[in-house]
Structure 1
Amino acid sequence: MHQRPVTLIFPLLLVFYEIATYLSNDMYLPALPAMMKDLGLTAQHAQFTLTTWFIGSASMPMLVGALADRWGRKPILLAGGVIYILSTVICAMTTSVSVLLFARFIQGGMVPFMMVPGYAVIHESYEQKDAVRLLALMGSISVLAPALGPLLGSIVLYFLNWEWIFWLIALWALVAILLLSKWMPETLPAEKREPIHLSLLFKKYGQLCTNKRFMLLMCVLGFIFAGFIAWITAGPLLIIDSFHYSAVTFGLIQAGVFAVYIFANRWVKHLLEKIGMGSLILAGLFVTLSGGVFMLLFALIFPFSLYAFIMSMMIYSFGSGLCFAPLNRLVIEASEVTMGVRVSFFTVMLTSFAALGSGMASLFFDGSLLSLALLISTVIVLAGFFRWLTRSKTAMSMT
C-alpha cells in the first residue's frame, strides 16, 4: 500500500473520463427508437447494441491487468483512451449495422483500459476507510452518467440527430485523456513491474477463481449490478415505446432513479463510522431486496402503473447506493495477488454480470412491467442468496 498525500485531482479526473465511457451507453438510450428507424433495426437488435458493448467490456480486463502490471498504470489507460475515442468516432460516422456493432464492441472493450489501471491506482494509494469513502464519492459522481445521460441525449436529439451524441462523447473523452496525461500518477515503479508469463498469470486467475470469499462477494455485487443494467437496457423501451412517454420524460425518470443512488452514496461515509462495513452492506441489501419485492407485487397488482414501478426502482437504487462501495472494497481485499490482476478480474466479473443483465433484458423483456420486474427481483434474490452463503462460511468475516 503506497502512502501518498491525499489529493482529489486524479480521482476526479478519472471519474470525468469514466463518465465519458458510460455515456456511450446512457446518453444514446433515448436514441434507440430513432436508430431502429434509421438503421432498420428490431427492438431486440437495438438492445443488442448495448449487450455488444458489455461483451466487449467483459472480454478485455484480464489482458489489461497483465499489461498494467507489465508496463505501468498510466500508459495503458492513455492508450485505451485513444482507441476509445477512435471507436466512438466510427459509431458516429457509420451507416452499417455490422460496423456499428463492431465499433460498440471495441468501445466497450476499452472501458477496462480505464477501470483496471485507474482503480488500481486508487486502491494502491489509499487505506481501507479512505478508499471506501473515495469510492463512494466517485460512485456518486460517475452515476451522473446513467442519471443525466438519457436527459442529455434527449436534449441533443431535440436539436440534432443521434450521430451527434457520439461526436460529443468523443470530444468529452479527448479532453479527459489530455488532462489525465498530465495529472495521473504512476503507482507502479519500474522495478516492481512484472513480465508477462502466461502460466503465472493463469495461476493467479486460478487463485481468484478458487477464492470463496472473493467469488461469493463478487456474486453479491454482480447480481445487484445486473439488476441495474437490466433496467438501463429495458427502461427506455418500457417508458418510450410501451407507455408512450417522450425521451425527455424518460431522461427525467432516469435522473430521479440515480439521484436516489447518489443520495445513498453520500450517506456511506457517515454510516461507515457508526455501524461498520458489514452492517452497512446488510442494510443496503435489505433495502434493495425490499425494492425488488415491491416491484414484483406492484407489477402483479397494478400491471399498468408505471409510477409504482418507478418508486420501487428508486428503493432498489437507494439500497444499492448504500452497499456498492463497501462491497467493492471487500472484494478487492479478499485476495493478496497483484493489484492489477485483482482489479482486472474484478472488472471482468462485473462486466460479465452487466452483460448478463443486458442480455437477459434483451431476451425476456416483452414490453410489460411484469417481465422487467421478474428479471430485477430475481437477480436481487440471487444477490441475497450469495450474501447468505458468505455468512454461512466462517471465512466470511466482515468488519
Structure 2
Amino acid sequence: MQKMSVLNRSTLLFPLALVLFEFSVYIANDMIQPGMVMVVREFGVDSAWIPTAMTAFLLGGALFPWLMGPLSDRVGRRPVMLGGALFFVLSCLATLVSTGIESFTVLRVLQGVGLCFISAVGYTTVQEAFEEKAAVKVMALMANVALIAPLVGPVVGAALIAVWPWRMTFALIAAVAAVALFGLWRKMPETLEHKTVELSLRSLKADYLALLKNRRFMSASLTIPLLALPLLGWIALSPVFLIEQAGMSPVEYGLWQFPVFGALITGNLVLVRITDRLPLGRSVLIGLVPLLSGMALMFAGCLFSSVPHYFIIAGISLMALAEGLSFAVLYRFALTSSGVSKGATAAAIGMVGMVVYVLGIEGFSRLHQHFGDAGFAAMALSVSLCYAWLARRVVARAMADRAEQGEAALEPQLAGQDA
C-alpha cells in the first residue's frame, strides 16, 4: 500500500478510531477505581480486594503482547486488531452479569488483555501506514488523547457511580469501545502485504532471540523506559509526596497533576509543529536540556529545601516536557532498528519496557523508603543521565542512517541530471 504523508480529515480517521479504542481501554482501569468500594460491598468481601482490580487488569496487559505482534505478522494487522477490540467490548459487557468477586477479577484480567493490541498491533499499523515524519506526528497527537484518560477517568467514574450503579461504568466503556471498533472496521488499512498463517514457537523464539542479540535494537528500545521512568516513579509515589508528606487534600493532589501532564501534552504538540522543520531526532537532543535541568533542580530541592515537593513537581514537569518531545521519535527509531518483522519488534519493545518499568518502580520505592525524597531524586537523576548517554548514541546512529539513505536516493537523480 502507498504510505500516507499528509494529515487531513481522511487520513486521520484511522488513528482517531485507534486512539478512541486506546482511550476506552485506559479508562477501563481508571473509571472503576472510585467505584471499587461499592463493588466489594455488593459482593460482600474485604476491602483488600480493591487494589486487586488494578493488579488483575495490568496482569491481563502483560499476558499476550509476545503473541499478538507476531500473530499480526502472520495473518494481518487488521483481523487481529478488530478481533482484539471485539474481545474487549464483550469482556466489558460480561461484567454486567458478574456474580462474585472471583468472576469480576477474571473479567478484569480479560479486559486488561485489550492493552496487548494497542502497541503490538495498533502502533505498528500507524508506523507502516504513514511516512516516517507523518507517523511521528500522528503518534504524538494520539499520545495527547490517551493522556486524558488518567486525568478524567477517576472524575467521570466518581460522577457516574453517584447516579448510576457501578456496573454501568462498564456499559459506558463498552459503548465507547464499540464506536472505536466500528471506526477501525471502516477505516483501518491492512498494511501487511505478504501474509502467511504459519506461526510456531520455533519462529517466535528465533525472532525474539535475534532482537535480544541486536545491540542496536536493545539500545533504542531501552531509551524509551529509561526516559519515562521518573514520570512513572512520580505517578507511583505522588500520593506519598503530596498527601502524606505535604498534607494536601485529594482535590489538591489531583490539581497538582495538571502541570506534569500539561507539560507532557505541550511537548507532544511542540513535536508535531517542529517535525517537518528539523531532522528527525533533533527534538530528542533538544529535550535533553529540560530533562537534565529538571532532574538537577529536583535533586537540589530535595537536598536543601524545606518544601521539596514543589521542586519534585517542577523537575518532573520539565522531564515530562522532554518526554513529549522524544517518545514518538524514539519509538520510531526502535521499531526500525532491526530487520525482524514489525509486529514482533513492537511486542519486544513493549516487553523490554515492562521489565525496566517493574524493576525501576521497585527501585524508586525502595530508595524512597530508605533515603526519603533525596533517594527518589538521586535515582531519577541517575536514570536520566544513563538515558541521555544512550539517547545521544541512538539518535546519532539513526540520523546518520537517514542521511545515507537520503544521499542514496539522490544519486540516481543526480546521475540523470549529469546525463
Q: Which category describes the TM-score, using the shorter chain as reference length?
A: 0.7 to 0.9
Contact 2:237 2:365 in 1 (8 A): yes
Contact 1:152 1:251 in 2 (8 A): no
Name the structure 2 match of 1:270: 273
Is 2:321 the counterpart of 1:318? yes
Separation of aligned partners in 1, 2:253 and 2:37:
13
Contact 1:58 1:347 in 2 (8 A): no
State the SS of the aligned residue for 2:279: helix
> Which runs of structure 2 are paired with 1:128-147 in the superposition (5 Å)?
128-147=132-151
Name the structure 2 match of 1:3: 3
Provide closer, same or farther for how the CA distance between residues 163 and 138 of structure 1 changes in structure 2, counting only shifts above 3 A.
same
State the SS of the aligned residue for 2:28: helix
Q: Over aligned residues, Cα RMSD in angstroms?
A: 3.6
Contact 1:56 1:107 in 2 (8 A): yes
The letter for the 2-side match of 1:127 is: E
Is 2:68 the counterpart of 1:64? yes
Name the structure 1 match of 2:189: 185
Is 2:127 the counterpart of 1:114? no
Q: Structure 2: where are the runs of 5+ without partners?
A: 403-419
Provide closer, same or farther for how the CA distance between residues 369 and 169 of structure 1 changes in structure 2, counting only shifts above 3 A.
farther
Separation of aligned partners in 2, 1:309 and 1:30:
27
Contact 1:236 1:250 in 2 (8 A): yes
Q: For 1:199, which of 202, 217, 229 is the aligned residue?
A: 202
Provide closer, same or farther for how the CA distance between residues 362 and 8 of structure 1 changes in structure 2, counting only shifts above 3 A.
same
1:320 positional shift:
0.7
Provide closer, same or farther for how the CA distance between residues 5 and 268 of structure 1 changes in structure 2, counting only shifts above 3 A.
closer
Contact 2:82 2:185 in 1 (8 A): yes
1:264 positional shift:
1.2
Is 2:212 the counterpart of 1:218? no
State the SS of the aligned residue for 1:277: coil
Name the structure 2 match of 1:173: 177
Separation of aligned partners in 2, 1:166 and 1:32:
13
Provide closer, same or farther for how the CA distance between residues 383 and 4 of structure 1 changes in structure 2, counting only shifts above 3 A.
closer
Whose Rg is larger?
2
1:17 positional shift:
0.9
Deviations 1:279-338, CA, capped at 9 Å, x for gaps: 321221332232222223222333544333222221111111111111111111111222
The letter for the 2-side match of 1:130 is: A
Aligned residues between the structures: 395
The letter for the 2-side match of 1:81 is: A
1:353 positional shift:
3.5
The letter for the 1-side match of 2:72 is: A
Name the structure 2 match of 1:233: 236
Is 2:294 the counterpart of 1:291? yes
1:348 positional shift:
2.3
Name the structure 2 match of 1:351: 354
The letter for the 2-side match of 1:262 is: I
Aligned identity (percent) is 29
Provide closer, same or farther for how the CA distance between residues 180 and 210 of structure 1 changes in structure 2, counting only shifts above 3 A.
same
Q: For 2:258, which of 240, 255, 258 is the aligned residue?
A: 255
Name the structure 2 match of 1:328: 331
Name the structure 1 match of 2:131: 127
1:63 positional shift:
0.4
Contact 2:133 2:280 in 1 (8 A): no
Separation of aligned partners in 2, 1:223 and 1:344:
17
1:347 positional shift:
2.4
Contact 1:332 1:342 in 2 (8 A): yes
Moved more, 242-251 or 217-226: 242-251
Moved more, 211-220 or 350-359: 350-359
Separation of aligned partners in 1, 2:338 and 2:96:
41
The letter for the 1-side match of 2:3 is: Q
Deviations 1:149-188, CA, capped at 9 Å, x for gaps: 3443454466668766555433322332233223322222
Structure ranking higher on relative contact order (CA contacts 8 Å, 6+ apart) = 1
Separation of aligned partners in 2, 1:334 and 1:206:
15
Contact 2:129 2:189 in 1 (8 A): no
Separation of aligned partners in 2, 1:371 and 1:90:
44
Separation of aligned partners in 2, 1:254 and 1:24:
20
Provide closer, same or farther for how the CA distance between residues 224 and 50 of structure 1 changes in structure 2, counting only shifts above 3 A.
farther
Deviations 1:356-375, CA, capped at 9 Å, x for gaps: 44555666655964454445
Contact 1:61 1:116 in 2 (8 A): yes
Separation of aligned partners in 1, 2:162 and 2:297:
35
State the SS of the aligned residue for 2:293: helix
Contact 2:22 2:118 in 1 (8 A): yes
The letter for the 2-side match of 1:291 is: G
Provide closer, same or farther for how the CA distance between residues 317 and 27 of structure 1 changes in structure 2, counting only shifts above 3 A.
farther
Deviations 1:98-119, CA, capped at 9 Å, x for gaps: 6665444433332122322212
State the SS of the aligned residue for 1:19: helix
State the SS of the aligned residue for 1:136: helix
Separation of aligned partners in 1, 2:98 and 2:360:
27
State the SS of the aligned residue for 1:20: helix
